[in-house]
C-alpha cells in the first residue's frame, strides 16, 4: 500500500561549503533536524531548488543516503530524480527507493533538455521500483492528446502497481512561445493562451480515466472484443482519484470541483472584483465547495491556500522585511485581464496574529502553504519556519 502524503512539505536547497567545492553535510543535518523539530511532515530534496542538474552522481547518492539515515523514519523524504540525461533519472529513482526515500517526482517541460515525455520514464521507473510514489509536477495539458495520454498513463500506472500521482494544469512558462502549436494544437481565436483548450483536454482525459466504454466496436475486428462499447486500454482503476489541478479564478475553481479534483489556490487570482484578496479567495473556495457538493462527489475534497508570512522577531528580520509591514494587495494586468495579488504578512507577532485571524480564506481552507525565500539559505528559512510555528501557530489555533 503506497504511503499517503499529507500536509506541507519543504522543497529544499542543497547547502555547499563556503568555497563551493562540496555539500555542507553538517549544515544539511542541522536543517533536517530543524524541520523535524518544527513538525514538518516531509522534505523534497534535489528538486527545483536543489541543484539537481549540477550535482554529481556521487554527491547525489551522498545527499540521499545521508538524509535517509539521519531522518530514521521521523519524516517523509522525497527525492527529485530529474537529470539532464533522461536514463539517469530511472537509475536515480531506483537508488532513491533503495536508500529509503518515500517518493520521486519529475518536472515536465517540452523543448528542454530534461524531460518532455514523462510516461516512458514513469513506466521505466515503475518497473524498476516497487514502493515509492512516482509523480509529475506538472504536465501541461495544452500539449496533450487526452486519449493517447490516458493510454500512456494507464500503462505506466499498472506497471508501477498503482503508484502514479499525476499533476496536470494549463502549464507554466515554457522554453518556446506557444509550443503547443508545434505539437499540432491550435486553440480558438478567443483562447490565445490555450487555457480553455487545456481544460477541454483535461475534461476528456478525466472522463476516459473512468473506464466506461464509448467507442463503437468493429464488427470484424482483428481480435475478439468484449460486449458493448470499448474503452481506452489499458485501464488502471483508481488513477482517476490521483489527478491534481491548481485554479487561479472562481470559475476555474468551480470547473475543478466539477471534475472531481482537489483545489489549490495561491497568492494570485487572475480576476479582481474590488474586494480584498482574502475575501475574493474565500469566495473562490466557497464556490468550489458548493460546486463539489452540487456535483454529488462522495469523498471530501481538500483545499489549500498559500501565504507569505514573515514574523519580525530579530534584527535580521527587521532588516529584511520591515518595509513590508504595511503591505497591501496589488492589482495588475495579466494574461489579458485584471489580476489581484495577495499582500505579504510582515510585522511583530501580535500584529500578525490579529491580521491573520481576519483572513477569511485561511479560515475556509484546510491546508496553509507557506512560501519561503529559498535564496536566503537554510539557516534563515529554518528560523522563519520556527518563528511562524512558535509565535503565530499556537495563538491562531493552527497547532
Bridge partners (DSSP) of residue 264 are 246, 304
As a whole-number percent, the residues of the chain with pLDDT over 70 amount to 86
**DSSP-assigned states of every residue in 2-15:** PPPP-SPPEE----
Report the predicted TM-score, pTM, of the whole model to 2 decimal places.
0.57
Flag whether pLDDT at 12 surpasses 70. Answer: yes
pLDDT at 9: 84
Total H helices, total E strands in the chain? 14, 15
Tens of pLDDT, residues 119-143: 998 999 999 999 887 887 678 999 9
Starting from the edge strand earliest in sequence, which strands make up the sheet with 10-11, in order? 10-11, 42-45, 76-80, 103-106, 133-140, 164-169, 243-246, 263-265, 303-307, 367-370
Residue 159 CA to residue 13 CA, distance in Å, equals 32
Neighbours of 118 (CB within 10 A): 24
Residue 387 CA to residue 237 CA, distance in Å, equals 43
Flag whether pLDDT at 354 surpasses 50. Answer: yes
Tens of pLDDT, residues 192-235: 889 889 989 999 999 999 999 999 999 998 888 999 999 999 99
Mean pLDDT of 164-176: 80
Tens of pLDDT, residues 224-283: 899 999 999 999 999 988 888 877 889 989 988 988 988 878 888 989 999 999 999 999
> Pairing relation of β-strands 133-140 and 345-347?
unpaired
pLDDT at 313: 94
Q: Across the chain, what does the average pLDDT equal?
A: 85
Mean pLDDT of 383-395: 86
Most confident of the following: 42-51, 109-118, 314-323: 314-323
Tens of pLDDT, residues 301-337: 878 788 889 999 988 888 788 888 999 999 988 767 8
Cell numbers standing for residue 55? 550535482
Tell me 224's DSSP state.
P
pLDDT band at 173 (very low <50, low <70, confident <90, very high): low
Tens of pLDDT, residues 79-95: 776 555 566 667 657 76
pLDDT at 2: 46
**DSSP-assigned states of every residue in 237-294:** TTGGGGEEEE-SSHHHHHHHHHTT--EEE-SEES---SS-HHHHHHHHHHHHHHHHHH
Length, in residues, of the chain? 399
pLDDT at 1: 41
pLDDT band at 105 (very low <50, low <70, confident <90, very high): low
Mean pLDDT of 369-375: 65
Gap between the terminal Cα atoms of the chain? 29
Mark residue 7 as left, alpha or beta (left: phi above 0; alpha: psi -120 to 50; beta: remaining): left
Tell me 230's DSSP state.
B
- CA-based radius of gyration for the chain: 22
Domains, in order of start, for the chain: 253-399 (3.20.20.30)
Amino acid at each position: 500500500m503506497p504511503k499517503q502524503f499529507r500536509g506541507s512539505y519543504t522543497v529544499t536547497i542543497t547547502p555547499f561549503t563556503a568555497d563551493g567545492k562540496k555539500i555542507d553535510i553538517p549544515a544539511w543535518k542541522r536543517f533536517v533536524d530543524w524541520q523535524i523539530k518544527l513538525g514538518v511532515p516531509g522534505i523534497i530534496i534535489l528538486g527545483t531548488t536543489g541543484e539537481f542538474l549540477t550535482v554529481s552522481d556521487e554527491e547525489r547518492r551522498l545527499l540521499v543516503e545521508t538524509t535517509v539515515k539521519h531522518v530514521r523514519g521521523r519524516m517523509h523524504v522525497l527525492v527529485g530524480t530529474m537529470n539532464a540525461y533522461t536514463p539517469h533519472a530511472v537509475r536515480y529513482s531506483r537508488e532513491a527507493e533503495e536508500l529509503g526515500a518515500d517518493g520521486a517526482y519529475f518536472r515536465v517541460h517540452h523543448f528542454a533538455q530534461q524531460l518532455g515525455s514523462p510516461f516512458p520514464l514513469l513506466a521505466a521507473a515503475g518497473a524498476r521500483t516497487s514502493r515509492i510514489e512516482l509523480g509529475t509536477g506538472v504536465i501541461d495539458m495544452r500539449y496533450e492528446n487526452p486519449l493517447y495520454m490516458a493510454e500512456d498513463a494507464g500503462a505506466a500506472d499498472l506497471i508501477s502497481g498503482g503508484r502514479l500521482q499525476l499533476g496536470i494544469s494549463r502549464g507554466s512558462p515554457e522554453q518556446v512561445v506557444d509550443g503547443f502549436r508545434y505539437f499540432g494544437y491550435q486553440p480558438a481565436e478567443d483562447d490565445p493562451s490555450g487555457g480553455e483548450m487545456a481544460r477541454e483536454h483535461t475534461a476528456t482525459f478525466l472522463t476516459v480515466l473512468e473506464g466506461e466504454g464509448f467507442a463503437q466496436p468493429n464488427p470484424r475486428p482483428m481480435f475478439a472484443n468484449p460486449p458493448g462499447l470499448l474503452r481506452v486500454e489499458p485501464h488502471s482503476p483508481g488513477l482517476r482519484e490521483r489527478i491534481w489541478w491548481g485554479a487561479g479564478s472562481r470559475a476555474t475553481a468551480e470547473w475543478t470541483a466539477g471534475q472531481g479534483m482537489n483545489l489549490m489556490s495561491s497568492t494570485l487570482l487572475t480576476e479582481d472584483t474590488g474586494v480584498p484578496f482574502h475575501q475574493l479567495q474565500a469566495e473562490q473556495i466557497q464556490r468550489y465547495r458548493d460546486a463539489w457538493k452540487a456535483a454529488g462527489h462522495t469523498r471530501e475534497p481538500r483545499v489549500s491556500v498559500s501565504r507569505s508570512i514573515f514574523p519580525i522577531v530579530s534584527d535580521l528580520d527587521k532588516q529584511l522585511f520591515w518595509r513590508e509591514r504595511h503591505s497591501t494587495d496589488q492589482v495588475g494586468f495579466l494574461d489579458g485581464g485584471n489580476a489581484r495579488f495577495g499582500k505579504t504578512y510582515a510585522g511583530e507577532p501580535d500584529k500578525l496574529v490579529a491580521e491573520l485571524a481576519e483572513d477569511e480564506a485561511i479560515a475556509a481552507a484546510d491546508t496553509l502553504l507557506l512560501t519561503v525565500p529559498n535564496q536566503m539559505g537554510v539557516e534563515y528559512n529554518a528560523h522563519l519556519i520556527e518563528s511562524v510555528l512558535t509565535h503565530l501557530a499556537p495563538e491562531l489555533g493552527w497547532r
